[in-house]
Amino acid sequence: MLKGMIVKNISDTYTVKENKNLYECKARGKFRNSGLTPLVGDIVEFDPEQNYILDIKERKNELARPSVSNIDIALIISSVKKPDLSLYLLDKQITSVALENIEPVLCFTKLDLLSRKELKEIKKIMKYYKKLGYAVFTNWQIKKILKYLKGKTVVLTGQTGAGKSSLLNLISPSLNLKTGEISEALGRGRHTTRHTEFFFVKNILIADTPGFSSLDINKHTKEEIRDTFLEFKKYTCEFKNCMHDKEQNCAVREACEKGEIMKSRYENYCNFIRGGK
């Protein structure tokens, strides 16, 4: 019996990676009966002679679209132009992945399309997120990104056209992924099939995931959502369990009015908790 990680799944065949070796395995009937389906990302015990998956180790987390597990980092790709930067979408992605126990890492693209004035504005935004404790990069910093992601299991997320495939190609030109809008439409069609795959590049397991933006924030409690807004934590409000909404003497709201907390962050937060449980 060996232990490895599922790196690819096409219909009922799972490719399990053990050290440098790949094994094409099937899942035992017992999984089907128990309603437990192996996922790409699962750490499994398998029989390398019969090519059967015997056991699935407990998952650190699990995503539905794409169906993957045990993700360490979500590399959130945000273009600053074409499509324009949406801080709403960015905060939504940060909160969504943080709620699944995944570290958000931010990467901004297409800074070359900005005027000098716009660039200054974006740099201010990047600085704010950095101060929160997140790793923040631009797609010019491939070496730094690679160093940060080394040894991790990573999903790429971001709007269509944000530059996900382009970034992966920069990381590993041999992947030769299609980029641009027309090929994106084709790529999407391909990815709606039940094919999930991690690329193993430069010691990073990374999945390019066009459909990944639909994590459900609303299944979490308002408190859990609140706690993903890291900048709120240093403020003490009059009410002990303040939701920073309509409460009296709310230090977070005051900090927002003073400009210590980014206005868009606070507005997005209010929007998210209104949907939360």
Ligand X SMILES: Nc1nc2c(ncn2[C@@H]2O[C@H](COP(=O)(O)OP(=O)(O)O)[C@@H](O)[C@H]2O)c(=O)[nH]1
Can you give the binding site for Zn ion, defined by CB under 5 A? Answer: 237, 242, 244, 250, 252
Calpha distance 87→92 (Å, rounded) = 8
**What sign does the dihedral 57-17-1-38 (CA atoms) show?**
positive
User: Per rule CB under 5 A, is residue 79 in the interface with Mg ion?
Assistant: no
User: Per rule CB under 5 A, is residue 139 in the interface with Mg ion?
Assistant: no
* Contact of 163 with 140, CB cutoff 8 Å: no
Stretch of 23-31, 83-91, 162-170, 249-257 lying at the interface with Mg ion (CB under 5 A): 162-170
Closest approach, Cβ 220 to ligand X, in A, equals: 26
Burial class (CB in 10 A: 0-12, 13-18, 19+), 277: exposed
Closest approach, Cβ 257 to Zn ion, in A, equals: 12
Specify the DSSP element, H or E, that contains 138. Answer: strand 135-138
Q: Residue numbers of the site for ligand X (CB under 6 A)? A: 109-110, 112-113, 139, 158, 160-166, 179-180, 184
User: Per rule CB under 5 A, is residue 9 in the interface with Mg ion?
Assistant: no
The partner in contact with residue 158, picked from ligand X, Mg ion, Zn ion, none with C-beta cut-offs of 5 to 8 angstroms by kind, is ligand X
Among 165, 196, 209, 268, which residue interacts with Mg ion (rule: CB under 5 A)? 165
Closest approach, Cβ 252 to Zn ion, in A, equals: 4
Calpha distance 115→125 (Å, rounded) = 15
The partner in contact with residue 161, picked from Zn ion, Mg ion, ligand X, none with C-beta cut-offs of 5 to 8 angstroms by kind, is ligand X
CA torsion 41-185-190-149 (nearest 10°) is -20
* Contact of 159 with 89, CB cutoff 8 Å: yes
> Where does this chain bind Mg ion (CB under 5 A)?
164-165
